[in-house]
Structure 1
Amino acid sequence: MSLRDYKLFGAVLAFFAIYAFVILWNTWPIQEMSVAKSGVFGDSFGALTALFSGLAFAGLLTTIWQQKEEIALTRKEIRDQHFDNILFRMLEMHNNIVTDIDLRADGSNTSLQEGYLFSTGRDCFENFHEDITAIYLEKSKEEHSLEEILNNTYEEFWNLRKKDLGHYFRNLYNIFKFIKNSDIEDKKTYSNLVRAQLSDYELSILFYNCISKYGRERFKPLIEEFHILNNLPQELLLSENHKRFYSENAFI
């Protein structure tokens, strides 16, 4: 029993003692002792018995309600822990995917630039940014609308790098989709945690992926909802006016 339970038990005993004392005070000395008289004396405790029977029932209901609340809380903790476990496994997989990306100058990977240096992991995204920049500079010379130029730019870049980035973007998309579809309350905290895993150059490639046909319909709404481009350096955009393809929510 807890200290609160002992205090409650003591209060009940004290109440009974005081009540009995008052009855005895008003009936003492007892002039006649008989079955009838003792019955009347016992009946004087009837109201008190009914009161505590009601309190006992109320206590039972309170206990049931508290247990229900504790069970609900336990279920929520289990659900949240399950969510955490899955999310962190997905993040671990994401980091493994990034680590496994490599670009070699031995001919196993092609590049727009001569003398392409060996790169691994997140360093590759700087090379990807150089690739997409070079393609954009060529495409921007054509007589097309800005939207067509960007579509053509990313299409050529994707054909060049889809073997390196296909798995990367599928996994990243599923991480944000998992957060959105979960019952977790603080989704912003978890989306910020994922965003913190992305380097500046990753964000720049993600920016252009999500305004292309490969990410426009499904991934771009998640980018805007979770403010994923908030920390994207403006100098990594091919042009600052490309921001107009997103809602302001993506950058706040």
Structure 2
Amino acid sequence: MNQKIRKSVFSIERDRTLVLMFLAIVGIWFGFAWYLKRNYFDASAETAGQLGDTFGVINSLFSALAFAGLFYTIRLQKKELHETKLEFRLQNQTLQRQNFENTFFNLIQSRKDVIYYLESAKYDASYQSGEDHLDQIAHNLKAYLPDALNLQGKQITQTELEQFNSLIPSKSIDPYIRSLNKVLQYVQENTANEKDRLFYNSIISSKLLTDEAILLSYYVLLGGADLETRGRIDYMLKSNT
């Protein structure tokens, strides 16, 4: 909207300047004609010769004014073209951001769908929902493994790794991790600076359930998935801290 207003003001100023230039030229022409009529209407041959020389000067003056008007018009057009290019560039940046965010939120929705359709283990003769299943896994991890915060800088024993693997069914966790990593990788590859990367990771982190965040913390600390995936998840978990 601001671009349109500036462009409109610029166009009005340009038109006003051109009108003033035209009126000035016409005024000079009429003023000179009046001057000739008053002083040279019944002129002698000598005076007429001087008058002819004067007409030559006036013709040169009009030619110079015409050239100046052409030069000024070209400058105005150049400036307007520059502003148009700038407006197109801003529109293109806005469109790119909109396309990025549309894909980003679609991937987040896709991740929710994956959670909804998780294949859960059977507890108490009934199948759980995807979210309840993740909560159950996180609960089991908290019950059988040390607190995630206390694992920092400590050696993870083989027994703890075996417990970790037994408590997280691969059929459940693998699709979940893949869908999450897909969103994180998209943000990593399509953000131009650290500020944007941190902002969109914080959006993902804010949508995690409490037990979901606990599950992912254990997953990173105990060496789940590949190094790049763990790095992206760890960055996302810390984005709100």
- Give the shorter-chain TM-score range: 0.7 to 0.9
Query: In 1, Cα distance between the equivalents of 2:26 and 2:217?
Result: 81
Q: 1:52-101 deviations in whole A, cap 9, x for unaligned? A: 22222222222332232233223222322221222122111100011112
- 2:134/2:211 contact within 8 Å kept: yes
Residue range with higher mean Cα deviation, 81-90 or 33-42: 33-42
Q: 1:113-139 deviations in whole A, cap 9, x for unaligned? A: xx48642121222211222234326xx
* More contact order relative to length (CA 8 Å, sep ≥ 6): 2
Q: Give the CA deviation at 1:209.
A: 0.9
1:169 correspondence with 2:177 = yes
One-letter code aligned to 1:179: V
Q: Give the CA deviation at 1:21.
A: 2.9
Match of 1:235 in 2: none
- 1:131/1:157 contact within 8 Å kept: no
Query: In 2, Cα distance between the equivalents of 1:222 and 1:57?
Result: 53
2:160 maps to which of 134, 139, 153? 153
What's the secondary structure of 2:208's corresponding residue?
coil
Match of 1:98 in 2: 115
Query: In 2, Cα distance between the equivalents of 1:74 and 1:126?
Result: 44
Match of 2:16 in 1: 10
Query: In 2, Cα distance between the equivalents of 1:39 and 1:156?
Result: 104
Match of 2:86 in 1: 69
Match of 2:205 in 1: 195
One-letter code aligned to 2:66: T
Match of 1:88 in 2: 105
Q: Give the CA deviation at 1:27.
A: 7.2
Greater fraction helix: 2
Match of 2:4 in 1: none
Match of 1:212 in 2: 222
- 2:120/2:128 contact within 8 Å kept: yes
TM-score by length of 2: 0.73
2:128 maps to which of 99, 112, 119? 119
Q: 1:20-71 deviations in whole A, cap 9, x for unaligned? A: 4356547741126877654432221233222222222222222332232233
Query: In 2, Cα distance between the equivalents of 1:124 and 1:176?
Result: 22
What's the secondary structure of 1:214's corresponding residue?
coil
Match of 2:150 in 1: none
- 1:132/1:153 contact within 8 Å kept: no
Query: In 2, Cα distance between the equivalents of 1:136 and 1:61?
Result: 70
Match of 2:190 in 1: 182
- 2:14/2:76 contact within 8 Å kept: no
The structure number with the bigger radius of gyration is 2
One-letter code aligned to 2:133: C
- 2:120/2:130 contact within 8 Å kept: no
TM-score by length of 1: 0.70
One-letter code aligned to 2:138: H
- 1:128/1:205 contact within 8 Å kept: yes
1:47 correspondence with 2:54 = no
Unaligned runs of 5+ in 1: 107-114, 138-144, 230-249
What's the secondary structure of 1:218's corresponding residue?
helix
Identity %: 14
Query: In 2, Cα distance between the equivalents of 1:26 and 1:116?
Result: 108
Query: In 2, Cα distance between the equivalents of 1:75 and 1:24?
Result: 51
One-letter code aligned to 1:169: I
